[in-house]
Amino acid sequence: MPYYETPLVERRELEHHTLLSLHAPELANALRPGQVVMVRCAPHASDDPLLRRALFVAGATSATGQIELLVEPTERGLPWLASQPLGTKLDLYGPVGQGFRLNADTRNLLLAGTGPAVPALLFAARDAVARGLAVMLLISAESDHALPPPFLLPPEVEYQTSNTGSASLFHLIAGKTEAPASKISGKRKAARKPPEPIPTLGHSPLAWADQIFLALTEPLITEAAQTVKTGRLRWPREFAQAALAGPLPCGLGTCYACPVTTHDGQRLRCKDGPVFDLRLLG
Amino acid sequence: MADLTVEVCGLRFRNPVLPAAGPNVRDGRMLTEAAHGGAGGLVAKTISVDAAPVPMPHMAEVRGSMLNTELWSEMPPERWLSYEYAVARRAADEAGIPLILSLGYSGEEIAQLAPLVRPWADAVELSTHYLGEDATPMIQAIAAAKAALDVPVFVKMSPLGREMRAAARAAQDAGADAIVATNSLGPAFGLDIETGYPLLGGSDGYGWLSGPAIKPLSVRCVYDIAQAVDLPIIGVGGVNRGEDAVEFLMAGASLVQVCTAAIIRGSTVYGKIASQLGDWLDQHGYPSPHAIRGLAIKKTVP
Ligand SMILES: Cc1cc2nc3c(=O)[nH]c(=O)nc-3n(C[C@H](O)[C@H](O)[C@H](O)COP(=O)(O)O)c2cc1C
Ligand code: FES
């Protein structure tokens, strides 16, 4: 596993998150949406917290050699990370795990999620737009300020959010009209030749999508699988993939603290995931 | 510039910072990484006569430290003998450093394993982790290793209270060539207060503490052992930076080993700690690690 000392080159303090840009050309080349980096979140002279923090990468650009981390100060160590001055060399390793697998014939990509894996969707959205895909992003959170701000996304992305928690996510995906209060934060602009128009609320984003990439926590797997099953008659492998958030103490496959029960037996989130085919989970 | 090379039991280490047995050296590839990462010598993960079961999870963070319930290698000895040791041997030879193979546990098990590992070993390290506090099983394990091998036999001790000196003397009398102190501390126990379940898997949820929290205990063990026996001592427990190595050397160690810091920081940590040690020696005008070995004992013991 490659280890890096990456300088912090930009920091943007948002309402609830901090967006960090790190100069890490080798990593920027290697990272795929859905993968994680393990960041040491303590000053040099301190051992607290001892273990690294696992962060889903929010963006990586080979051209600039930069990677982006969207830090939400939810865990010990993360407030320290978010407050570092420019120039700080952050000690991290990655890429950890398997990212999303984009099919060659996918034209319409639906991204949907909630929780700590959401940055993976921002990365996937930017990557997909760069490849000329039509992208729709649905995110739910407990409150407005916990939602990633729309300016982090390319303007081509249709971005819909809900601030009423995870239950509303599945309404958004299924395009149910009785969805709990939701709003459109992003602005739909013409995507590059989408084969079909992007659906508005009331139509099913799920029916429109060639693939759906989800950001979930484990308790949401069953409902996610149910939603996809109900919305699609045919549900081939790789159609629905989920980046699963949860503890990753080592990120190396050594501590066995990240087991995920799949239909193929027990798997490790840090090696076999964090992105899994939803059919294996639900 | 300080000369970091150290000779212990006739083996020449390019610096005094080695990996300690653990997931950081769990196979030939990781041992190769340790050599590339600047380790002064190599120590492989403990093997026993069977592959170890894998409790899930077997590591967890507790404030300032780590709990683990990892047993010995989850690979069967056949795999080590047919492949992993050869890879490790090649890495050690290329780097010009010794390779120490860790074996567990009882006299019978050591008698079975020792002759098999001999072709790859410059020394063996016996783990006494599951042998209890009575010295007899440790003495039997040392006797079995000495009978089967013509290479140095190191004995790794778990941290005991005031009994470290007696245990070290017993090991010396049984023929041990060096003492490694210490293994992780326990059993310990931690809970996830959201679920009420133990942090670790396994039948009882018990684990062993390692990392910075145990350093003062391990340094004390080294300090006690250094006063009790004439054998070289290898200090282990919470070594994370050059200053930690200095402290162990001053307490009487000739070499140090690193596990938890290597799990967290990767295999380049050995070389980094060694170079920090070199810088410290330079800044304080000492020509070598040997020059500070046992300094604390000289100062404190009449
Ligand atoms: C996950 C883990 C696995 C370990 N496995 C072994 C082992 O197989 N054999 C052994 O002698 N010690 C083992 N140890 C103990 C270490 O080698 C070392 O003695 C102890 O962790 C203290 O050093 P540290 O603070 O640098 O980790 C293990 C420690 C950890 C954390
Ligand atoms: S995070 Fe340690 S095994 Fe997956």
B86 lies in a domain?
yes
State the average pLDDT over residues B109-134: 94
Residue nearest to atom 6 of ligand 1 (CA): B22
Mutate to test the interface with A, among B25, B26, B33, B61 (most CBs of A within 10 A): B61
Distances (CA, A) of A153 to A109, A115, A123, A136, A158: 14, 18, 9, 11, 9
B194 lies in a domain?
no
pLDDT at A35 over 90: yes
Average pLDDT score over chain A: 88
Stated as kind and residue range, the H or E segment containing A277 is strand A275-277
Residue with tokens 């840009």: A21
B131 lies in a domain?
yes
Touching check for B51 and chain A: CB below 8 Å?
no
Nearest CA in chain B to A254: B23
Residue with tokens 């404030």: B63
State the average pLDDT over residues B1-17: 97
Nearest CA in chain B to A45: B241
Candidate of A258, A260, A266, A267 to mutate for ligand 2, largest count of ligand atoms within 8 Å of Cβ: A258
B63 lies in a domain?
no
In this predicted model, what pLDDT tens digit does every residue of B173-199 receive, in sequence order?
A: 999 999 999 999 999 999 999 899 999
B176 lies in a domain?
yes
- C-alpha B42/C-alpha B17 separation (Å) is 9
Assign B141 a pLDDT band (cuts: 50, 70, 90).
very high
CB of A98 within 8 A of CB of A274?
Answer: yes
- % residues pLDDT > 70 (chain A): 91
Ligand 2: does its nearest atom lie under 6 Å from the Cβ of A274? Answer: no
- State the pLDDT at residue B163: 85
Candidate of A254, A260, A276 to mutate for ligand 2, largest count of ligand atoms within 8 Å of Cβ: A254
B200 lies in a domain?
no
Cis peptide upstream of residue B223 (ω within 30 degrees of 0): no
CATH code, domain with B112: 3.20.20.70
Helix, strand, coil share (%) of chain B residues, nearest 5: 40, 20, 40
State the average pLDDT over residues B94-122: 97
- C-alpha B98/C-alpha A215 separation (Å) is 47
Q: In what order do the strands lie in the sheet with A182-184?
A: A182-184, A158-162, A134-140, A108-113, A211-217, A240-245, A275-277
In this predicted model, what pLDDT tens digit does every residue of B225-262 receive, in sequence order?
A: 999 999 999 999 999 999 999 999 999 999 999 999 99
| Contact residues on chain B for A259, CB-CB shorter than 8 A | 56-57
User: Do B59 and A256 lie within an 8 Å CB cutoff?
Assistant: yes
- State the pLDDT at residue A177: 53
In this predicted model, what pLDDT tens digit does every residue of A144-172 receive, in sequence order?
A: 888 888 888 999 998 988 887 777 888 88
Q: What ranges make up the beta strands (E) of chain B?
A: 6-8, 11-13, 17-19, 42-43, 59-62, 65-68, 99-103, 123-127, 153-157, 178-181, 185-189, 206-210, 233-236, 255-258
pLDDT at A194 over 50: no
- C-alpha A191/C-alpha A205 separation (Å) is 15
Please report which ligand is nearest the Cα atom of B240: 1
pLDDT at A183 over 80: no
Assign A198 a pLDDT band (cuts: 50, 70, 90).
low
- C-alpha B28/C-alpha B30 separation (Å) is 6
Angle at A161 between CA A158 and CA A162, to 5 degrees: 160
- % residues pLDDT > 90 (chain B): 88
A39, two tokens: 């960041």
User: Do B268 and A3 lie within an 8 Å CB cutoff?
Assistant: yes
Which among A157-166, B86-95, B123-132 has the top mean pLDDT? B86-95
Query: What's the domain range around B270?
Result: 6-53+70-189+213-300
SS3 of B256, please? strand
Of the listed ranges A126-130, A225-229, B256-260, the least confidently predicted one is A225-229
- State the pLDDT at residue B240: 94
pLDDT at A188 over 60: no
pLDDT at A219 over 50: yes
Of the listed ranges A65-69, A162-166, A225-229, the least confidently predicted one is A162-166
Which among A153-162, A243-252, B119-128 has the top mean pLDDT? B119-128
Ligand 2 closest atom vs CA A247: 1
For residue A47, give the nearest of B60, B64, B263 by CB distance. Answer: B64
Ligand 2 closest atom vs CA A249: 1
Residue numbers of B between 198 and 237 with CB closer than 8 Å to A = 201, 211-212
User: Do B263 and A48 lie within an 8 Å CB cutoff?
Assistant: no
- C-alpha B37/C-alpha A152 separation (Å) is 38
- State the pLDDT at residue A204: 87
B296 lies in a domain?
yes
Domains defined for chain A, CATH in brackets: 3-96 (2.40.30.10), 108-281 (3.40.50)
B198 lies in a domain?
no
pLDDT at A191 over 70: no
Please report which ligand is nearest the Cα atom of B188: 1
> How many domains does one find in chain B?
1
Residue with tokens 């920090």: B276
- State the pLDDT at residue A184: 47
SS3 of B210, please? strand
Assign B15 a pLDDT band (cuts: 50, 70, 90).
very high
Cis peptide upstream of residue A259 (ω within 30 degrees of 0): no
* C-alpha A74: how far from chain center: 16
DSSP A237: T
Average pLDDT score over chain B: 95
State the average pLDDT over residues A256-272: 92
- State the pLDDT at residue A196: 55
pLDDT at B82 over 50: yes
Which among A155-169, A177-191, A234-248, B268-282 has the top mean pLDDT? B268-282
